[in-house]
Amino acid sequence: MRISTSWAQQLGVNAMNANQVKMSKTQMQLSSGLKILAPSDAPAASVKILDLQESIDKTKQYQDNIEVARSRLDIEESSLETAENILIRAKELTVQALNSTLTADDRLSIKYEIDQMLDQMVGVSNTKNANGEFIFSGDFSTTPAVAWNVQSESYVYQGGINQRTLDVAPERRIADGDLGSDVFTNIASVSQEANTLVNGVESNHRSVFDTLQSLSKALSHEYEVPEASIKGNRFMQFGADYSVTPTSFNLTGENGAPVAVTLNAAYADLDAVVTAINSTPALSANNIEARSSGNQIEFISTTAGKDSSIQIDAVAGSFLTDFGFSSGTIGKGADLGGSLSGNKVSAFLNYAASPASFELNDEQGNSQTINLGANYANQAALIADIQGQITGSPIDGKIEINSLANPIEFRSVSSGGNSSVQIRQVSGDFLKNAGFSSGDAGRIFDATANDVLSDLDTALNNFLRVRTSVGARMHALDGQESQNEKFVLDMKSTLSDVQDLDYAEAISRFNIEQTALQAAQQAYSRVQKLSLFNYL
């Protein structure tokens, strides 16, 4: 084969270019520390590199989430500690207020401190994190968790119903906070104020704010008699649309007359729904009222006390389902008054040989002497005789004996700030047998304050439970963080094996390629001189 002069020179140029390309690639590898500079260099390895890098980036995001969650839980834990200190101080003040030697002015001074503590507790419930989000509002993080409700004259929860969670691992999520409804409002209560009935079952829950508020009012001789109420359990902040498919339901008050309510329009928000319901003419005549409570609807009987009741029944449409009611739900009110209990079970029942007499006094100064002079077959017979002597007496309708209590309990049927019952010895041993002392008095303030003490203990236990949960989550975050760190280290090690350059091999290869380039250059310079024109 004959090779022309131009072709011979072109071969030399091609050889130099090829060696220069190889040396340039090796040089780029040495400068970057990577052996794969483009996907075309090793397609399979490039895909593996992308997968490994994606896993590392995701895990780093998990680590960032852990830091965010830890920060928010730190704030919550600190807030709960403050709330606990508030309740501990409230307990001290409540015990102090129960001292019968205190004057009205003394109790008012305690009330002023309780009011400040109530405001502080509201502030704790509306604590914000570094991003300005309310930590106890759940998925409604831009809405204060607790706000004053003008209609119910109480603090209500208006945050979300879902806890916010963060991904801390591919298949693991951890809540970065707790709902204010679980921490501050939905707390078990033994109080008379919370002793309402729903479907025949005591709905004995109230918020820590209501507990402090009831103590504050009692210290200034203000008492609220609980009314019957039923509340939906779904948040409907944004209203409902019944313009296409109207809905209707019945509300029944204590007078037993059902009132039909129909909704047949689009309602922009919860307040619009409440307004539409209250526009039903027969509701107010039957002592029934709808009101918003946070983001929920609540129906109440405007008649307070144990005789008030309210019931909801479905007729057509989806209102009950939409707003979280069950058809047939009944709410009943509770009485609020003083009570007086003995401390001995099954009092001595035979007073035939040694009759006994004692006097019961109500808050208005009315009294009735009870005479016992028979051998009673059982506790029920003794109670029936006492109640029989109360009936028709000056204290009838003001004091009653609890037919189920053992030890024996006398209750004031009256409601209000002065409600009380007092027992005095006349003759015989009944008071001693039943565990009373002559002159014992049961006042509504004592009942309220003792209920507050019990509810404060329950709230403290609830705070402790939540703090325990927060601590457990923070411990879990620490463990997950360590696990993620190890995972990232393992992934980086694998990634290094796939993409990092072997410098010793690359430097040796670079030297060989450099020598080959120099040889190609020298060969080209020699071939370039092999031309016939040099001899013409």
Question: Is the preceding omega at residue 407 within 30 degrees of 0, hence cis?
Answer: yes
pLDDT digits (tens, 9 = 90+) for 458-498: 999 999 999 999 999 999 999 999 998 998 888 878 876 76
Q: Report d(CA 401, CA 392) in Å as an integer.
A: 14
What is the average pLDDT across 170-188?
90
Give this prediction's pTM: 0.69
Q: Report d(CA 518, CA 514) in Å as an integer.
A: 6
> Is residue 47 located within the same domain as residue 156?
yes
Q: Residue 234 contacts by C-beta under 8 Å, 6 or more apart in sequence?
A: 161, 296, 322, 323, 324
> Is residue 372 located within the same domain as residue 418?
yes
Count of the separate structural domains present in the chain: 4
> Is residue 201 located within the same domain as residue 61?
yes
Q: Residue 281 contacts by C-beta under 8 Å, 6 or more apart in sequence?
A: none
CATH number at residue 295: 2.60.40
220 is written with which tokens? 């200034």
> Is residue 292 located within the same domain as residue 233?
yes
424 is written with which tokens? 């005095």
What is the average pLDDT across 403-427?
76
Partners of 140 in beta bridges: none
> Is residue 349 located within the same domain as residue 489?
no
For 356, how many CA atoms within 13 A lie in the half-sphere containing its CB? Answer: 21
440: in domain: no
> Is residue 62 located within the same domain as residue 75?
yes
Q: Residue 114 contacts by C-beta under 8 Å, 6 or more apart in sequence?
A: 90, 93, 212, 215, 216, 219
Q: Using the 3D structure, point to which of 333, 354, 372 is the last residue of a domain.
A: 333
> Is residue 54 located within the same domain as residue 122?
yes
What is the average pLDDT across 69-89?
94
Confidence of residue 336 (pLDDT cuts 50, 70, 90): low
> Is residue 215 located within the same domain as residue 75?
yes
pLDDT score, position 417: 54
Q: Is the predicted pLDDT of residue 375 greater than 60, yes or no?
A: yes
* Distance in angstroms between the alpha carbons of the first and the last residue of the chain: 24
Confidence of residue 135 (pLDDT cuts 50, 70, 90): very high
> Is residue 46 located within the same domain as residue 25?
no
Nearest Cα to 294, choosing from 416, 381, 185? 185
Give the range among 88-97, 345-354, 433-442, 466-475 with minimum mean pLDDT.
433-442
Q: Report d(CA 236, CA 297) in Å as an integer.
A: 8
What is the average pLDDT across 396-405?
83
pLDDT score, position 340: 62
Q: Can you list the positions of beta strands (E) in 286-412? A: 288-293, 296-304, 309-316, 329-332, 339-341, 356-362, 367-372, 399-401, 409-412
| Helix, strand or coil, per DSSP, at residue 165 | strand
pLDDT score, position 2: 55
pLDDT score, position 112: 95
CATH number at residue 175: 1.20.1330.10
Contact (Cβ atoms closer than 8 angstroms) between residue 141 and residue 133: yes
Residue with tokens 């449409």: 317
> Is residue 420 located within the same domain as residue 364?
yes
170: in domain: yes
245: in domain: yes
Nearest Cα to 294, choosing from 177, 463, 156? 156
What is the average pLDDT across 497-521?
70
Q: Report d(CA 524, CA 11) in Å as an integer.
A: 9
Q: Is the predicted pLDDT of residue 155 greater than 70, yes or no?
A: yes
Q: Report d(CA 65, CA 67) in Å as an integer.
A: 5
434 is written with which tokens? 């039943």
Q: Using the 3D structure, point to which of 407, 435, 463 is the last residue of a domain.
A: 435
Q: Domain span at residue 529?
A: 1-35+504-536
Contact (Cβ atoms closer than 8 angstroms) between residue 445 and residue 451: no
Task: Report the chain's mean pLDDT, rounded to a whole number.
Answer: 82
Treating both helix axes as pointing N-terminal to C-terminal, what angle do 208-219 and 43-97 enclose, rounded to 10 degrees?
20
Give the range among 25-34, 71-80, 334-343, 463-472 with minimum mean pLDDT.
334-343
pLDDT score, position 117: 95
> Is residue 191 located within the same domain as residue 107?
yes
338: in domain: no
Top-confidence range, 30-39, 321-330, 385-394: 385-394
CB burial string 433-457: b at 16+ within 10 A, e below: bbebeeebebbbbbbbbebbbebbe
> Is residue 57 located within the same domain as residue 88?
yes
469 is written with which tokens? 């949960």
pLDDT score, position 197: 46
What is the average pLDDT across 243-249?
93
Cα dihedral: 76, 80, 81, 85 (round 10): 150
Q: Is the predicted pLDDT of residue 193 greater than 70, yes or no?
A: no
pLDDT digits (tens, 9 = 90+) for 260-285: 999 999 999 888 999 999 999 889 88
Output DSSP code: residue 34: B
Q: Using the 3D structure, point to which of 333, 358, 393 is the last residue of a domain.
A: 333
pLDDT digits (tens, 9 = 90+) for 100-123: 778 878 888 999 999 999 999 999
Q: Which residue has the higher pLDDT, 307 or 491?
A: 491
What is the average pLDDT across 188-210?
67
